[in-house]
């Protein structure tokens, strides 16, 4: 593993992962966020929701933003404070218009096999926002509050 792929703890409450855009790295990405969420004190259900949301966001980057170009990288930042975890996933690939996405219900009615990831993210995280600047920096930011 190259140095840049190594998980770095910049300070106590901020962690970053810079990792090649490949589907076989999704397991590493999930383990990374699950480990932090568990240490932070989330219960199992919330940990599973965070795991799913981050997986979906990164799978979208690999498939849509970078179109399976494994020379590209995904940046994942996890920040925690006393009451919430904020996860930011960013790429420099093709952007998308989050407002143009069909709802999960529309996708299901069509028996469509994709396009469900963003719907899942919105359902399991407390806050989700997008900052899309194609080719420069696309960012999905999601927040989970600890109860």
Partner 1 sequence: MSGFEVMRRDNQDVSVLFLKGYLDAHTYPHFETELQRLVDERRYKIVVDFRELHYISSAGLGVFMGFIETVRENAGDIKLCSMSQKVYKVFDLLGFPTIYEIVKDDAEAIGRFEAPMKSSQL
DSSP codes, 43-86? -HHHHHHHHHHHHHHHHHIIIIISTT-TTSEEEEEEEE-SSEEE
Instruction: Tell me which residue of 139, 48, 130 sits closest to 92, measured CA to CA.
Output: 139
Give the nearer residue to partner 1 in terms of CB position, either 45 or 97: 45
Which positions from 22 through 61 interact with partner 1, judged by CB under 8 A?
Answer: 23-24, 26-27, 30, 45, 48, 51-52, 55-56, 59
Per the listing, tokens 């806050």 go with 127
Query: Is residue 113 close enough to count as binding partner 1 by CB under 8 A?
Result: yes
The label of the residue with tokens 């259900």 reads 45
For residues 62-81, which are near partner 1 according to CB under 8 A? Answer: 62-63
* Tokens 């179109």 found at: 67
Shortest CB 146 distance to partner 1, Å: 19
Paired tokens of 139: 């960012």
CA distance linking residue 116 with residue 87, whole number of Å: 20
CB of 65 to partner 1, least distance (A): 13
How many residues sit in the footprint of partner 1 (CB under 8 A)? 27
Query: In the bound complex, what is the minimum distance in angstroms from residue 24's beta carbon to partner 1?
Result: 5
Binding site for partner 1 (CB under 8 A): 23-24, 26-27, 30, 45, 48, 51-52, 55-56, 59, 62-63, 104-105, 108, 111-114, 116-117, 119-120, 123-124
């Amino acid at each position: 593993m190259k140095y840049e792929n190594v998980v770095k703890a910049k300070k106590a409450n901020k962690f970053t992962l810079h990792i090649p855009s490949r589907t076989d790295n999704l397991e590493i990405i999930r383990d990374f966020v699950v480990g932090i969420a568990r240490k932070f004190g989330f219960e199992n259900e919330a940990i599973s929701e965070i795991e799913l949301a981050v997986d979906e966001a990164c799978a979208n980057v690999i498939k849509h933003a970078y179109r399976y170009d494994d020379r590209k990288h995904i940046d994942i930042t996890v920040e925690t404070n006393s009451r919430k975890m904020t996860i930011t996933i960013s790429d420099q690939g093709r952007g998308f218009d989050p407002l143009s996405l069909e709802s999960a219900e529309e996708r299901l009615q069509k028996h469509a096999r994709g396009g469900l990831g963003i719907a899942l993210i919105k359902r399991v995280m407390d806050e989700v926002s997008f900052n899309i600047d194609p080719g420069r920096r696309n960012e999905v930011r999601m927040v989970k509050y600890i109860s």
